[in-house]
Structure formats: C-alpha cells, structure tokens
Amino acid sequence: MYTRFTITKITTYVYLIKEVIFVTLYSAAVYTLYEFYGHHHLTISFSISAVMGTAIAILLGFRTSAAYERWWEARKIWGGIVNDSRTLIRQGYGFIANSENKEQEILKLAKYQIAFNYALSTSLRKLPLSDSVKENLSEADYMTVMKQLNAPNAILKLMEDHLASLFEQSKINAYHFGIMDQTLKNICDHMGKCERIKSTVFPVHYGFFIRLSIIIFALLLPLEIVEFLGILTIPVTFVTIIFISVIESIANYLQDPFENRAADIGTTTICRTIEINLLQMTGEKNVPKTLLPDRKGIVW
C-alpha cells in the first residue's frame, strides 16, 4: 500500500507504453494524410467526440468510484480484524478465571490470533503460508492447519477448541464463553468478507465496453480536431487519451485489493501491528519491530 505519492519510471512505462505508441502513430498518420496528401474528407463533426467524451467521463467516474469502494471496504474489514484481535485478548484477561497458567492460556490464544492474521493475508494473496504462521503454532497445530484447504478457517477452529477446553475446565463461565465466541464469529465474518471481495470478479463486460469506448474516442478525436489544430493534433490527442487511459488503469488496479501489488492493502504490515499489540498485551518481551514503508513509500 502506498503511504505517499510516488510513481516509478517502470510503473509509468507499463501503464502508458501501448497508449503512447498507438496515439502518437495514429494522430501523426491522420495529420499527415490531411496536411500533405489532401485527404480533407477525413474530418468529421466535433460534436461526436463531445457526446462520447461526456459518456466516457460518466462511465469512468462510476468505474473508479466502484473500484475505490472495493478497495476501501477491504481496508475497513482489516481495520475490524485489528479491533477484534485486541478485543479477544482483552476479553481473555477479563473473562478467564485466575489460575497458575492463565497467562499461558491467553498467550496461546494470542498466538492463534496472530497466526490467523498472517494466514489470512497470505491466503488472500494466493501465497504459501508465511513463516510467521509456523512460528506461532505448535508443531501438531501447524501440521493440522497444513492439511486443510482453508488455513485461516482451520486456525479459527483451533481457537474455538481452545475456548471450549477452557469452558469445560470451568475457567470461563457460559456467559463469557458466549461473548468470546461472538468475537470469534466477528473475526470469521471479516474473513468471509475478504474472501468475497477476492473471489467476486468486477463485471468484465462493463470494463470491456469502457475500454472499447475509449478506443473509438481515440480513433475519432484526431479526425475532428486536425482541421483546426494542424500539427497540434498530435500532442492534444496524446494528452487527452493518455489522461483517460490512466484513469481507467487506476480503476482496474484498485478493484482487486489483495493481489500483492504496491497499491493493495498492506495486510502484512497490519498483521505485524496486531502481532506487536497482542504480544505487548500479554507481557511478552521479545516483540518484533514495526514494519516501515520502503524507500518508495510502500508497505506490504
């Protein structure tokens, strides 16, 4: 996730290279045919692009807004995971009865939650389980999780089993068990919402027809302005189409917030923040350092 405005040369190149080549060559060809070969019949009314440009602006506005809403919803969901992770451990201290191993029981719960967060992050990004998952689980628990198709869900099951064990030992009463179970349900709901965003494809036909409209607009624009602008047709067409294409590319980029790209939600950094918070709540001394943005201002 970007933490400050930055555009690398490589990123800009990838975004614009196809549009740069197409727009420059096409507008130059139109100008050459009109100016040097006398094909004045190529010109058409400017009103066509005026109407199409307005329609494209409306469609792009909706597309960008919808894409950003998906991105922002994903960020809010992970904000809920942060809050419920802290709540779960706070409830552990308030609800679990005092005993010699109370701290160990809460620490075990905290490590389950830390492992869940990292597992969810890598699962959404379609990556192998990170070492942070293994470090926070016992060997037996880790082998159990590895056998499951949905690792975060398997860890939630381990957390539920742990709470059920505490309840059976009368270390948590029925009322408090219900409250903590509700917190686990909230965490499970957050996981489901993330999976919904990940698995739901933005309507492909909508994106296709927006792209088609931009291409038609790019083909018509030089024909409409070459009569009035002459050689300026080339830079004017270039700037107009590139601007529209970049907005459309940004919408494509934002609509999938869990693809392990620079503009995605920084779930790894969020997981580290939660890990630090929970370990400090349990009184652990060996706490990892906060993940800071890299030199490009990106957190992962």
DSSP one-letter string for 223-266: HHHHHHHGGGHHHHHHHHHHHHHHHHHHHHHHT-TTSS-TTS--
**Residue at 197 is within a domain:** yes
Which pLDDT tens digit goes with each residue over 268-285? 999 999 999 999 999 988
Neighbours of 106 (CB within 10 A): 22
Return the pLDDT at 10.
Answer: 46
Q: Establish if 274 belongs to a structural domain.
A: yes
Instruction: Render each residue's pLDDT in the chain as its tens digit; 300 residues.
Output: 554 555 554 455 565 677 778 888 989 999 898 888 777 777 877 777 788 888 888 888 888 898 899 999 999 999 999 999 999 999 999 999 988 899 999 999 999 999 999 999 999 999 999 999 999 999 999 999 999 999 999 999 999 999 999 999 999 999 999 999 999 999 999 999 999 999 988 777 777 888 888 888 888 889 888 888 889 989 998 888 888 888 888 888 788 888 888 778 889 999 999 999 999 999 988 889 887 766 666 665
Is 253 among the domain residues? yes
Who contacts 127 (Cβ-Cβ below 8 Å, separation ≥6)? 260
Pairwise CA distance, residues 89 & 83, whole Å: 10
Q: Residue 293 falls within a domain, yes or no?
A: no
> How many domains would you assign to the chain?
1
Quick check: is 2 in a domain?
no
90 neighbors 109 (Cβ within 8 angstroms) = no
92 within some domain: yes
- Please indicate, yes or no, if residue 117 is contained in any of the structural domains: yes
Considering the entire predicted model, what is its pTM?
A: 0.84
Q: Quick check: is 165 in a domain?
A: yes
Res 299: pLDDT = 63
Domain range for 200 is 9-281
